[in-house]
């Protein structure tokens, strides 16, 4: 059945690839991101790109009002905006850390708060929140990123219980290593840290590992996310969580069942 879908964060990677698939499936797909120039190919396919910053309530309100005016409803909201801030807790400024939480966590809350009233009125809806396998585990130098994704997990679980009474489903997407801009952003964050940092050796190891993951078979293609989101959208009763992509399932399994000390040793053996 054709649905009205809003994808937050569709200018590249998982969001863009999924938007293409959903458009081809016949859905009406609105895509938003700060970089509207990078979504013109989606417009050519039949999508509806709009510019929006998840940290701007005015931007969000304008987008939601436009969709409701044109379509009368929003069936599916995919909160997919986010980025990875990496660096030690000692080195990363609190201003940068607050920005990370503003985009990755409060962005989800801000968009959801404006969409949910329309879903409640319709007594139907689906919200997909992008977390990460990093929302269930951790790596050194990623404290603020992991903190944001752990927060997304808790936020989403509570939303699921609160919104069930209104027939609104909440699904958590937990990607593993996916071939997107994430790695280049991560490396770019490290470049901002002083070369005199006490954590330079650890940063170099993570940069090396990130570059390797971007090559060969170190990460999954964004199409695996596109297929999964399409499956969620098409399902009458989707699962509460979907863990997909390279290393997602085994890494979370190890974190869950091996305990803190053993998992710590495994992670640090890569350093």
Active site residues: 11, 131, 145, 149
Rounded to whole angstroms, the Cα distance separating 160 from 162 reads 6
CA 225 to chain centre: 11
Strands, E, within 18-83: which ranges? 28-33, 48-51, 76-79
Angle at 267 between CA 189 and CA 223, to 5 degrees: 65
**Contact yes or no for 25/230 (Cβ under 8 A):** yes
**Contact yes or no for 177/213 (Cβ under 8 A):** yes
Strands, E, within the chain: which ranges? 4-8, 28-33, 48-51, 76-79, 125-130, 168-175, 241-244
Residue 162 three-state SS: helix
Nearest alpha carbon to residue 222 among 11, 79, 2, 6? 11
Rounded to whole angstroms, the Cα distance separating 177 from 244 reads 9
């Amino acid at each position: 059945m054709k649905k009205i879908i809003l994808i937050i964060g569709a200018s590249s990677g998982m969001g863009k690839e999924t938007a293409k698939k959903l458009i081809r499936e016949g859905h009406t797909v609105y895509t938003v991101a700060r970089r509207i120039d990078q979504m013109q190919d989606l417009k050519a396919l039949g999508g509806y790109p709009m510019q929006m910053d998840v940290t701007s309530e005015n931007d969000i309100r304008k987008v939601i009002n436009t969709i409701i005016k044109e379509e009368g409803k929003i069936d599916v909201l995919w909160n997919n905006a986010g980025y990875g801030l990496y660096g030690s807790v000692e080195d990363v400024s609190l201003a940068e850390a607050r920005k990370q939480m503003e985009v990755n966590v409060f962005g989800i809350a801000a968009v959801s708060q404006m969409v949910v009233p329309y879903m409640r009125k319709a007594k139907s809806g689906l919200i997909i929140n992008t977390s990460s396998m990093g929302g269930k585990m951790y790596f050194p130098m990623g404290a603020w990123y992991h903190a944001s994704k752990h927060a997304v997990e808790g936020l989403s679980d509570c939303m699921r219980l609160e919104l069930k009474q209104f027939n609104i489903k909440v699904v958590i997407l937990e990607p593993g290593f996916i071939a997107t801009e994430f790695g280049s952003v991560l490396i770019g964050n490290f470049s901002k840290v002083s070369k005199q940092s006490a954590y330079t050796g650890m940063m170099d190891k993570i940069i090396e590992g990130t570059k390797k993951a971007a090559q060969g078979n170190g990460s999954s293609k964004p199409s695996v996310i596109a297929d999964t989101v399409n499956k969620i959208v098409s399902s009458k009763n989707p699962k509460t969580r979907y863990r997909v992509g390279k290393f997602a399932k085994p890494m979370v399994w190890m974190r869950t069942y091996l305990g803190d000390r053993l998992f710590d040793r495994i992670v640090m053996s890569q350093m």
